Amino acid sequence: MHESIPHWDARFELGREDGDLQHRYFLNLVNRLAGALSDARGVARRAALLAELKAYDRFHLLSEENLMQRDAYPGLARHRRLHDELFDALSSREHAVSLADEATTVDDIVRFLVEWCVHHTAGEDRLYAEFRQQAAGR
Ligand SMILES: [Fe+2]
């Protein structure tokens, strides 16, 4: 386990099985890739690892947005914007890695991904979970 990456805990549990599985997988993936990125020799290898992360991330964000659409979640447009910003930020890091930009270190990428897990999943995604719970209680 990369030292700055949190363990899965209750703040990430949002009460929907497939969503929780996806978030748990994302955290595992971040952890595995953090180790692999640190060991990676060469730009092509690092870029390939980030491409794997991006592919999973794209799938996960679309999956979440589709559920929000199904549930007529009023925060969907805002949430989609946040997803787009996160994805753009990840893409620009991937681009920097492919250009061998020294300033974009593995630590910077891991920090960004951990921020994402902690603030987006435990914050913004939780708002949607709360909306669903309220809708179910109506
Ligand atoms: Fe989200």
Residue 87 lies in a domain: yes
Number of independent structural domains in the chain: 1
- Distance (Å) from CA 111 to ligand 1 centroid: 18
Q: What is the pTM of this model?
A: 0.88
How confident is the model over 87-132, as pLDDT tens digits? Answer: 999 999 988 888 887 777 888 888 999 888 889 998 999 999 999 9
Torsion angle of alpha carbons 71, 117, 58, 61, nearest 10°? 10
Residue 7 lies in a domain: no
Residue 113 lies in a domain: yes
How confident is the model over 23-76, as pLDDT tens digits? Answer: 999 999 999 998 898 888 888 898 899 999 999 999 999 999 999 999 999 999
| Helices (H), ranges, the chain | 17-39, 43-70, 76-98, 106-115, 125-137
Instruction: Print the domain residue range for 43.
Output: 15-137
- Distance (Å) from CA 132 to ligand 1 centroid: 14
Residue 23 neighbours by CB under 8 Å, 6+ apart: 12, 14, 60, 117, 121, 125
Q: Which tokens sit at 37?
A: 């990125």
- Distance (Å) from CA 42 to ligand 1 centroid: 32
- Distance (Å) from CA 83 to ligand 1 centroid: 6
**What's the CATH number where 63 sits?**
1.20.120.50
